[in-house]
Amino acid sequence: MNAAIEKGFEFSDRDFRFIRTMVSEKTGIELAEHKKNMVYSRLVRRIRTLNIGGFREYCEILSSDSSGSELINFVNAITTNVTRFFREEHHFHYLRDVVVKELTEQKPEKIRIWSAGCSVGMEAYSIAMTMLSAMPELAYKDFKILATDIDTEVLGKGAAATYPSEVLKDIPQEYHRKYLETSDDGETVTVTDELRKFVTFKRMNFLDHWPVKGQFQVIFCRNVVIYFNKEVQRAIFDKFADRMVDNGCLCIGHSENLFNVSTRFRSVGTTIYRKIA
């Protein structure tokens, strides 16, 4: 028996093909055939919330959604948001030990870092903690971190900056009191206002116009492009290069590389690249 029928709604191959096409057109993400059960589990919540008959009706809603309101909910439901503080720790060591030293010597007027695909903000705040701890004078300089994602729900969580207290295990001890406030019941921690003021959250779809100006010294784009085809990946990394200073630092995900994707960066370490001047 079809697993989807057992769960309460029929999810036909036709419905799945429609959704795969919609996801590709709206986000650039290519869903594999074996992702059918995953798609079911994520979208069935929307079907129940809307109180409609099933996936066929939901596909009809998406195809006639002139306002785009349900498309936003659709994208939010489909996109994956797996993250944690200081994930792939070597990137933050490189920031602290190499990038900060360079910036201290160069003394640029503006320091800009971009967390692309920021999810609930843990990456952006990890960057902020690392930079401000290693370079305290940034608190008095023109220093900003841009955090973007396609998912409006995770952006809201990132702006709120409140997380379960379990995240403390991933954050270096020396940052706990300096950058985090624990709730009275000990269940949650919130990033301090002093740190949050350096991070700006904005919605951005890589397939749409890029409303990103200025030149970035560092860009984090980790475990995002693996969902895109090679053509889209090439376009993304080309646009990143256009928005980076010469020798700017790019950090990508552990399962990603730029081989046959971009010639505008040189490798300087595990999943760490520098823009070629």
Note every long-range contact of 18-27, with CB atoms under 8 Å and residues 24 or more positions apart, other chains counting. Answer: 18/59, 18/62, 18/63, 19/43, 19/55, 19/59, 19/62, 22/62, 22/74, 23/78, 26/71, 26/74, 26/75, 26/205, 26/207, 27/75, 27/78, 27/79, 27/150, 27/205, 27/206, 27/207, 27/227
Count of positions (residues) in the chain = 277
Note every long-range contact of 155-158, with CB atoms under 8 Å and residues 24 or more positions apart, other chains counting. Answer: 155/118, 155/201, 155/202, 155/203, 157/120, 157/121, 158/118, 158/119, 158/120, 158/121, 158/124, 158/199, 158/201
149 is annotated as an active-site residue: yes
42 is annotated as an active-site residue: yes
Options 15, 20, 149, 196, the catalytic residue: 149
Residues with a catalytic annotation lie at: 42, 149
